[in-house]
Chains A and B, each alone.
Chain A
Amino acid sequence: MPNRRSFLSQSLGIAVLGGTIPSFLASPALAQPLPALGASVDPDNVLLVIQMGGGNDGLNTVVPYSDDAYHRVRPTIAIAPAGVLRIDERIGLNPVMAPLDDLFKDGRLAIVQGVGYPNPNRSHFEATQIWETASPLNPVSYGWLGRYLDRIAGAPHGALEAGDIFRAVTLGDTVPTALIAEHVDVPAIGALGTFGYNTGKDAASKSAAATLYDGAKPGQSPYLSLIETTARNAMHGGDLLKEKIASINSTGIYPNDGFSQQLRLAARIVRARMGTRIIFVSIGSFDTHAGQRAQQDRLLGYLSAGLYAFYADLEANGMQNNVLAMTFSEFGRRVTQNASNGTDHGTAMPMFMLGGNVRGGVYGTHPSLTDLDNGDLRWGIDFRSVYATVLERWLGQDPSSVLSGRYDSIAFV
Chain B
Amino acid sequence: MKLDTSTDPQVGFRPAGSLDIVTALDRYEGPFSTRQAAHVLRRAGFGGTAADVEALRALGAEGAIDRLLHPSDPDIEFAAYPDPKLLGDPKTRNDAAENWWLDRMLRTRHPLFEKMTLFWHGHFATSLRKAPANLMVAQIDLLRGRALGNFGSLLLAVSKDPAMLVWLDNRYNNKSHPNENYAREVMELFALGLGNYTEDDVKNAARAFTGWTLDASLNFLYKPAAHDDGPKTFLGRTGNFTGEDIIATIVEQPIHQRFICRKLLEFFVYSDPEPELVEALAQKYALCGADIGQTVGTLLRSNVFFSARAYRAIPKSPVEFTIGLLRFMGVASVPPDTIGWLRRMGQEPMAPPSVKGWDGGPTWINTATLLTRFNYVNRIVKSAPPQAVPSTAASATMAPAMMTAAAAAQAAVFPTLTPSEIVRRAGGLDADRVLATIEGIAVQDDLTSDVRSQLRDYLQSTGATVPVPFGPENYEEKIRGALALTLNLPSNQLN
Contacts and interface: CB of A to CB of B under 8 A. Distances in A.
Contacts of A211: 454
Given A126-B7, A200-B382, A224-B494, A234 B371 contact: yes
Nearest to A54: B354
A197 B179 contact: no
Contact of A212 (B361, B367, B454): B454
B342 to A, nearest CB: 10
Interface stretch (B35-43, B64-72, B75-83, B457-465): B457-465
A95 to B, nearest CB: 25
Nearest to A241: B367
Interface stretch (A17-25, A262-270, A337-345, A353-361): A337-345
A338 B170 CA distance: 12
Nearest to A214: B454
Interface stretch (A30-38, A59-67, A202-210): A202-210
A249 interface: no
A230 B450 contact: no
Given A123-B194, A203-B463, A221 B368 contact: no
Interface in B119-166: 129
Nearest to A198: B375
Contact of B370 (A186, A208, A231): A231
Interface string B161-196: 000000001001010110111001000100000100
Interface in B437-495: 448, 450-451, 454-455, 457-458, 461, 463-466, 477, 481, 484-485, 488-491, 493-494
B378 A188 contact: no
Contacts of B489: 212
Contacts of B314: 223
A114 interface: no
Given A173-B343, A205-B481, A338-B172, A123 B188 contact: yes
Name the interface size band of chain B: 35 or more
Given A197-B371, A234-B370, A340-B179, A212 B362 contact: no
Contacts of A187: 366-368
B356 to A, nearest CB: 5
A405 interface: no
Nearest to A219: B490
A173 B355 contact: no
B374 A209 contact: yes
Interface in A181-218: 185-191, 194-205, 208-209, 211-212, 215-217
Contacts of B345: 173
A212 B370 contact: no
A118 to B, nearest CB: 15
A206 B129 CA distance: 37
A234 B179 contact: no
B74 interface: no
Contacts of B353: 174, 284
B330 interface: no
Nearest to B481: A205
Contacts of B12: 141, 222
A139 interface: yes
B312 interface: yes
Name the interface size band of chain A: 35 or more
A228 interface: yes
Nearest to A228: B490
A227 B315 contact: yes
Interface string B254-277: 000000000000000001000000
B346 A194 contact: no
Contact of A199 (B14, B370, B378, B491): B378
Nearest to A285: B129
A204 B313 contact: no
Contact of A290 (B14, B169, B355, B374): B169
B372 interface: yes
Given A196-B371, A215-B454, A227-B370, A339 B176 contact: yes
Contacts of B493: 223, 227
B16 interface: yes
B169 A289 contact: yes
Given A205-B458, A212-B485, A215-B450, A223 B365 contact: yes
B447 to A, nearest CB: 9
Contacts of A344: 179-181
Nearest to B447: A212
B317 interface: no
Contacts of B174: 339
A227 B488 CA distance: 11
A190 B368 CA distance: 6
Interface in B212-253: none
A276 interface: no
Contact of B368 (A195, A200, A209): A195
Contacts of A198: 375, 378-379
Nearest to A340: B172
Given A188-B366, A215-B451, A290-B172, A204 B371 contact: no
Contacts of B491: 219
A222 B365 CA distance: 13
B344 interface: yes
Interface in B276-296: none
Nearest to B462: A204
Contacts of A215: 450-451, 454
Given A199-B481, A209-B485, A223-B494, A194 B366 contact: no
A174 B367 contact: no
Contacts of B382: 199-200, 202
B7 A173 contact: no
B450 A217 contact: yes
A247 B121 CA distance: 44
11 contacts: A194-B372, A202-B382, A212-B455, A220-B312, A223-B313, A223-B494, A227-B315, A227-B365, A227-B370, A230-B366, A234-B367
7 closest pairs, A vs B, by CB?
A339-B177, A139-B6, A340-B172, A187-B367, A188-B368, A208-B458, A205-B481
Interface of A: 53-54, 122-126, 129, 139, 141, 172-175, 185-191, 194-205, 208-209, 211-212, 215-217, 219-224, 226-228, 230-231, 233-234, 237-238, 284-285, 289-290, 338-340, 342, 344-345
Given A129-B7, A190-B372, 10 more contacts: A172-B368, A173-B344, A175-B363, A203-B464, A204-B481, A227-B315, A230-B365, A231-B370, A238-B371, A344-B179
